[in-house]
Amino acid sequence: QLPLKVPVQLPNGISYEQPTGLFINGDFVPSRQHKTFEVLNPSSEEEITHIYEAREDDVDIAVAAAKKAFDAGWSTTEPEERVRCLLKLAELIEEHAETLASIESLDNGKSLFCSRGDVALVSKYLRSCAGWADKIFGKVIDTGADHFSYTKREPLGVCGQIIPWNFPLLMWSWKVGPALATGNTVVLKPAEATPLSALYACQLVQQAGIPKGVVNIIPGFGKIVGERICTHPDVKKVAFTGSTATGRHIMKTCADSIKKVTLELGGKSPNIVFGDADLDKAVKNIAFGIFYNSGEVCCAGSRIYVQDTVYEEVLEKFKQYAESLKVGNPFEENVFQGAQTSQMQIDKILSYVDVGTSEGARVVSGGKRIGNKGYFVTPTIFADVTEDMKIVKEEIFGPVVTVSKFTTVDEVVAKANDSEYGLAAGIHTGDVNKAIDVSNRVKAGTVWINTYNNFHQNVPFGGFGQSGIGREMGAEALDNYTQTKAVRMSI
Ligand code: NAD
């Protein structure tokens, strides 16, 4: 039988005890059927450990624990207590930051540079949620002298949360933080590829004094655990981050019981460089926009449009910059891009490289797998693409970018908006009027001007079109975890 904790030695010398159980009702427990699954290190393709695999019956037990915790008082607890718990959790995340970042690099393959950024945002975001937890306001509505009318914002109940593998701990915090701040309880399923940091963080949930059953984390597979979360009658909301195809399926499943659904889905985000931009800065931003986190970013700026007057110059600078980025062992300090997260991902990326080449796009840089152990691939730039190519239309979810030319503002706005997605857009220009004009006209939930992939815990993030429903971070995230009750009293 698998022990509930196993020793793990990280490549940077840190050793720690990895929880392997499901986190239900405040404790780590084996799954009911005692099934386990293997967790792989994508940099070496070697096993890190096995962990317990949840099944439908485990979901039912976790939901019952979450419902009991909700009814037993978390939903009506003093807001100050929720503030205290979330602040303590943020502090503990900070104390354990280097271990958490290292676990993330081991499990996901991302560079320590990326993992450290993730973990820093996790604690900032949990603090931001703590700040909201005692500021959930309704309003008084003037309905005349003979009635008193007001609204309250109440929690929803048990929230099912399903997260992907590209930002395992960050997504954990984007889901758990606002749910807890507003008095909900959660049953969360991490991605099967990257469950380790979520389980480690449950120890910090225990230490923060968050009551038993408020947070339940159950690793397992989407088609089993994810499905049961979506069909369970006591789950009142499902919050999902992942692919648009799975999001669509989840929305249909949740329709049967009219569950509230928020979806953070895919993208194919345009990143525009005008001729009047600071080109060196723009090149750094477009590179960061696509190669950060090995390109496994839902809002990656994967379609670059460069004004014709500076096209060749930007392309040359971009090639040089991309080729200067160090790719390799995520634990080496100056490595920018680590491994892709899974065999499936690297196969998908390399198949898109073949597709782009056969579609007639020009490979300016990269396009190759690195080594024969670990899922490493070179940053890849395709130029001279046309809008109808698959590599321009479809989300690749890797360090692969297309570059094409435009002449006028109207032309580039039309191209930028020619996508079913609408998660983000980037604009690089020295002309503030142009920046605002184009930001008004692009269809995207986030527009970055002279920057990219630049997040702040108080700025909402989410998609237009098929990139999703609802917003994360900022005050908007809290709205998605409350429902309005209207009270009207006759005087
Ligand atoms: P996915 O959307 O299938 O998986 C995301 C999460 O959903 C995982 O926890 C998974 O277990 C769960 N899931 C899968 N099927 C489910 C179901 N039927 N019901 C409930 N939950 C379910 O993504 P993937 O298969 O891991 O990756 C496929 C592609 O999705 C990637 O290549 C990438 O293009 C895209 N992706 C996008 C994001 C994003 O943030 N936009 C994140 C991950 C993957």
CA-nearest residue, atom 25 of ligand 1: 243
CA-nearest residue, atom 13 of ligand 1: 222
Record the tokens describing residue 133, joined without a space: 């937890």
Query: Residue 116 has what pLDDT?
Result: 98
CA-nearest residue, atom 36 of ligand 1: 243
- For residue 244, which atom of ligand 1 is closest to its CA? 2
CA-nearest residue, atom 20 of ligand 1: 226
CB of 227 closer than 6 A to ligand 1? yes
CA-nearest residue, atom 27 of ligand 1: 243
| Vertex 433: Cα angle to 429 and 438 (nearest 5) | 70
Most ligand 1 atoms within 8 A of CB, residue of 162, 169, 235, 297 to mutate: 162
Query: Residue 411 has what pLDDT?
Result: 98
Q: What's the Cα-to-Cα distance from 250 to each of 63, 70, 223, 373, rounded to whole Å? A: 18, 24, 11, 35
CB of 462 closer than 6 A to ligand 1? no
Query: Residue 195 has what pLDDT?
Result: 98
Q: Which residues are catalytic?
A: 264
Q: Helix/strand/coil (H, E, C) string of 115-136?
A: HHHHHHHHHHHHHHHHHHHCCC
- For residue 163, which atom of ligand 1 is closest to its CA? 9
Record the tokens describing residue 315, joined without a space: 């392309």
What is the C-alpha separation between 196 and 200, in angstroms, rounded? 6
The pLDDT of 170-182, averaged and rounded, is 98
Query: Residue 290 has what pLDDT?
Result: 98
CA-nearest residue, atom 3 of ligand 1: 246
Residues 6+ apart with CB under 8 A from 92: 204, 207, 208
CB of 306 closer than 6 A to ligand 1? no
3-state secondary structure of 249: helix
What is the pairing mode between strands 380-383 and 362-365? antiparallel
The pLDDT of 121-135, averaged and rounded, is 98
CB of 189 closer than 6 A to ligand 1? yes
Query: Residue 381 has what pLDDT?
Result: 98
CA-nearest residue, atom 38 of ligand 1: 242
**pLDDT per position as a tens digit, 52-68:** 999 999 999 999 999 99
**pLDDT per position as a tens digit, 57-109:** 999 999 999 999 999 989 899 999 999 999 999 999 999 999 999 999 999 99
**pLDDT per position as a tens digit, 217-252:** 999 999 999 999 999 999 999 999 999 999 999 999
CB of 241 closer than 6 A to ligand 1? yes
- For residue 348, which atom of ligand 1 is closest to its CA? 32
CB of 58 closer than 6 A to ligand 1? no
- Are 478 and 455 in contact by the 8 Å Cβ rule? The answer is no
Report yes or no for ipTM above 0.90. Answer: yes
Ligand 1 centroid – CA 167 distance (Å): 12
- Are 352 and 322 in contact by the 8 Å Cβ rule? The answer is no
Q: pLDDT > 70: what percent of the chain? A: 100
CA-nearest residue, atom 34 of ligand 1: 397
CA-nearest residue, atom 12 of ligand 1: 222
Q: How confident is the model at residue 417 (pLDDT cuts 50, 70, 90)?
A: very high
Q: How confident is the model at residue 36 (pLDDT cuts 50, 70, 90)?
A: very high
**pLDDT per position as a tens digit, 445-461:** 999 999 999 999 999 99
- Are 37 and 121 in contact by the 8 Å Cβ rule? The answer is no
CB of 250 closer than 6 A to ligand 1? yes
Query: Residue 78 has what pLDDT?
Result: 93
The pLDDT of 455-476, averaged and rounded, is 96
Ligand 1 centroid – CA 171 distance (Å): 13
CB of 223 closer than 6 A to ligand 1? yes
- For residue 246, which atom of ligand 1 is closest to its CA? 2
Most ligand 1 atoms within 8 A of CB, residue of 217, 231, 246 to mutate: 246
Ligand 1 centroid – CA 239 distance (Å): 13
CB of 243 closer than 6 A to ligand 1? yes
The pLDDT of 316-323, averaged and rounded, is 98
Amino acid at residue number 439? S
**pLDDT per position as a tens digit, 239-291:** 999 999 999 999 999 999 999 999 999 999 999 999 999 999 999 999 999 99
Query: Residue 103 has what pLDDT?
Result: 98
Ligand 1 centroid – CA 428 distance (Å): 31
CB of 168 closer than 6 A to ligand 1? no
Ligand 1 centroid – CA 236 distance (Å): 21
Q: How confident is the model at residue 400 (pLDDT cuts 50, 70, 90)?
A: very high
- Are 57 and 224 in contact by the 8 Å Cβ rule? The answer is no
